[in-house]
Amino acid sequence: MQTQTYAQLPSDLNPQRLPQHVAVIMDGNGRWASKRGFPRIAGHRQGAKTLKDLLRCCKDWGIPALTAYAFSTENWQRPLKEVGFLMRLFERLLRRELAEMQREGVRISFVGDLSVLADSLRQEIDRAMTLTAKNQAVHFTVAINYGSRAELAQACRRIATHAQQGLLQPDAVDEALIEQYLYTQGTPDPDFLIRTSGEQRLSNYLLWQLAYTELYFTETFWPDFDREAFHQALLYYQKRDRRFGKVAA
């Protein structure tokens, strides 16, 4: 029997039918920690390690884009201590992991309203995006202070302003134009969305971009979502028949 190390793509996955962009909702960090008698923040710390390994896995297995929902516009309502911890965690991780991501050819992008984040975090974000802008091994997008409805509202506002200024005609507003005004502008839509911890909802995540995405929900808490769990998710994906509204050929 083949020893499964997961450094390479598992042999039961078809390399020709891998999703080109995977999006994840990393849910269940708090419950993972509580179950073990740890504070919730321990779950976020472990969750960050899981995300790092998933990113490496995408690179190893030839999946060129990964987008992770790290902090939603609603997450500000969590206890101040937890919000503060998460913000410091993002900043620390960016500072600590940037050199390695650069070495591995990861291009890092951020989506969301970054204008309200602390200056020190925004500086790390700018540095990471600028330094890695030309990398091509994997495109890693982090959603921070992201909400899909807010993203669509800001797109509408900017389109309306440009129309008012005479820079575009109302007739020119079509799907392709709207896409140019989204935070994700220029990034192909996700083929596959994974949400962990048993919740089955989109929680205001990439609502426009997920229109034709295959959805996968698993009971596994995010910190436990390892390569074998990802392997199982991809097996599920490869069984799906993606028709994009057409009938089977």
- In the complex, the residues that contact ligand FPP under the rule CB under 6 A are 26-31, 44, 47-48, 51, 68, 70, 75, 86, 89-90, 93, 142, 197
Q: Is 75 a catalytic residue?
A: yes
Q: Judged by CB, which is closer to ligand FPP: 47, or 190?
A: 47
Strand 65-72 to 21-25 pairing: parallel
φ, ψ at 37 (rounded to 5°): 75, 15
As a whole number of angstroms, the distance between CA 54 and CA 220 comes to: 15
Q: Considering beta carbons, is residue 106 or 155 the nearer one to ligand FPP?
A: 106
Contacts with 86 (C-beta within 8 Å, 6 or more apart), sequence order: 44, 70, 71, 75
Which residue among 75, 135, 189, 226 is the active-site one? 75
Least Å distance, CB 216 to ligand FPP, is 17
Q: Which is nearer to ligand FPP, 187 or 238 (CB)?
A: 187
Give the DSSP H or E segment for 65: strand 65-72
Shortest reach from residue 100's CB to ligand FPP, in Å? 13
Residue 13 vs 98, nearer CB to ligand FPP: 98
Active site residue 145: no
| Residue 2 CB, nearest approach to ligand FPP (Å) | 31
Q: What is the DSSP letter of 76?
A: G
CA atoms within 13 A on the CB side of 80: 0
- For the CB of residue 75, give the shortest distance to ligand FPP in the complex, in Å: 5
Taking alpha carbons only, the member of 32, 57, 52 closest to residue 44 is 32
| Nearest residue to ligand FPP, scored by beta-carbon proximity | 30
So which residues are the catalytic ones? 27, 75
